[in-house]
Amino acid sequence: MTRPDHWGNRTLRVEGGIRARSTRGAIGSSWWSKRFLAVLESFALGTRLTRGRNYARAGQVLSLDITPGAVEATVQGSRPKPYEARIGLAVFPGDVWARVEAALAAEALGAAKLLAGELPPHVEDVFTGAGAPLFPARITDLGLHCSCPDSAVPCKHLAATFYLLAERFDADPFQILLWRGRARDALLANLRELRTGADSAAPAEAAEAAAVAGAGAAALGGAAVPAQAAQAAALADTGAEPSRAAPLPTRTARVLAELTEPEVELERFWVPPVPVTDPEPVAVAERDLLLRQLPTPGPALGGPELLRVLRSWYR
């Protein structure tokens, strides 16, 4: 089956193409894919986007590959030979990725979301702060090319590639980062290394702070040594490595650690201090109130006799 394209030529239908999962309405379900398509649709490309969306849903895209700096697709049009579409995007240099990874690793929640396979909502701000916006801001940020004879850029073949790319981002948000030059495994390995370094440095910093606190207490004429200083002193006596010791409690954890456990009578834990009485009803209705509000059934249903029988059942 074929259908006419922009010039009246018949588009060759294919079997086994990549079909968009969305059959109607908007394409893209995650915030990052919607953000990507919002950028595309802000370029005011008109009906080319509509035709491209139809191509994506009809399965006209035969292949779609994402590599650092380029998305390449094969799209079947009206000619026997499929068209080659390419969407280029600049790859971030190593120093930009170093700043981005350091910022993401510094936030436990952001790093945890990435390790769980999600993009944290503020990831755009992290890239912007590193001087490298994650999504293209202008159509000139993209290198668009298609082997079709259409002079319009982007053509419907490129637009179809855009929509399927958004669904690919839905399934794997790391494909966005790969397009920008960082593979998933490399990014997560760098984040784990940065997080491990931060976690291993925390106990040493806490021990150093405790030692300073202990010295300050001694200078005040033998005042009571805080818990952190006492633990740091005990650690020094054992000769253990500070970097390998368990982190000392700070802030709220320190206060909770110094509290004594309250005495609770477990057998009375669920007993209310004041006996609870049943609430008195504010209104009492007859059990057949509903029946009395209904109209009399017709003869086919039994007439008034049916109400009499039902009223006895209600009571």
Residue range 261-295, pLDDT digits in tens = 555 555 566 666 666 666 555 555 667 777 777 78
Query: Cα angle at 69 between 61 and 159, to 5 degrees?
Result: 30
pLDDT at 118: 83
The ranges of the chain with pLDDT < 70 are 1-9, 43-46, 197-286
Tell me how far apart the alpha carbons of residues 127 and 173 are, in angstroms, rounded to a whole number.
Answer: 15
Average pLDDT across the chain, whole number: 75
Q: How many residues does the chain have?
A: 315
pLDDT at 217: 43
Helix (H, G, I), strand (E, B) or coil at 65: strand
pLDDT at 284: 58
Tell me the pLDDT tens digit for each residue of 142-151. Answer: 999 999 998 8
**Prior bond of 120 cis (ω within 30°):** no
pLDDT at 279: 58
Q: What is the pTM of this model?
A: 0.58
pLDDT at 282: 55
Where do the H-state alpha helices sit in 8-62? 31-41, 47-58
pLDDT at 121: 79
